[in-house]
Amino acid sequence: MNERKINNRVSNAVVGALLVISMCLITFPIMADEIKFKFKSPSFSGVGTSSHYLTIDSQEMTRKEAIEAEIKALKEQLERDAENTTLARFIKNFESRVYAQLSRQLVDQLFGENPATEGSFLLFDNLITWTSDGVTLTMTIFNEATGETTVITIPIGDFGFPAD
């Protein structure tokens, strides 16, 4: 019997302790807060949406400009490479020499030992004419493609370099 009394006392103590603990828990205010879910993306939450969209637009524009700049740089590099080939350099050099020879012949006709008083020639789409009245030389360049006219007047008496 003694054991039974001890068991009853232990179980009464356990039940009493549980009763005291549960009473304490019931009487204390509850400290929990409600669970709130928020989207982190401004596209879903609406908070900061306009600045979010501006940032995305700015990034897209910067990326687009970088791609366009890279394409432009590549095109320019290809053009430089095409202009720097052996054939392109030869053609430029040849054209330069032809134009130099043509201008030398024109200067001889205008200012040589027996200068011509008038003349003309066609250079691509440009009709070049000149007349001289002994005092001035008037050269007219007419572009047939665009209709533009350029007039150059050169004083013959003052033409040349001073003698030392």
- What is the reported pLDDT for 44? 75
Backbone angles phi, psi at 121, to 5 degrees: -160, 160
> What pLDDT score was predicted for residue 61?
95
Q: Is the pTM of this model over 0.85?
A: no
Q: Give 3-state DSSP helix, strand, coil % of the chain, rounded to 5.
A: 55, 15, 25
Mean pLDDT lowest among 18-27, 69-78, 95-104, 131-140: 18-27
**Which single residue is written with the structure tokens 């005092």?**
135
Tokens linked to 133 = 């009245």
Residue 83 domain flag: no
- How far is the CA of 76 from the CAs of 19, 66, 117, in angstroms? 88, 15, 47
Quote the CA–CA distance of 157 and 2 in Å, as a whole number: 150
State which residues form the domain around 152. Answer: 117-164
129 in any annotated domain: yes
Task: With respect to residue 156, please indicate whether it lies within any of the assigned structural domains.
Answer: yes
In terms of C-beta distances under 8 Å and separation of at least 24 residues, what long-range contacts does 111-114 make, across chains too? 111/156, 111/159
Q: How far is CA 151 from the centre of its chain?
A: 40
**Residue 110: inside a domain:** no
More confidently predicted of 113 and 153: 153
Does 145 reside within a domain? yes
Predicted confidence (pLDDT) at residue 150 exceeds the cutoff of 90: yes
Domain count within the chain: 1
The per-residue pLDDT for range 1-56, each reduced to its tens digit, is 567 777 777 787 888 888 888 877 676 666 667 888 787 777 777 777 788 888 88
Indicate the length of the chain as a whole number.
164
Give the whole-number percent of the chain exceeding pLDDT 70.
Answer: 88
Give buried/exposed letters for 132-153 (b at 16+ CB in 10 A, else e): beeeebebeebeeeeeeeeeee
Domain presence at residue 164? yes
- pLDDT given for residue 155 in this prediction: 85
Instruction: State the pLDDT at residue 73.
Output: 95
For residue 121, tell me if it sits in a domain. Answer: yes
Q: Give the range among 23-32, 88-97, 109-118, 151-160 with minimum mean pLDDT.
A: 23-32
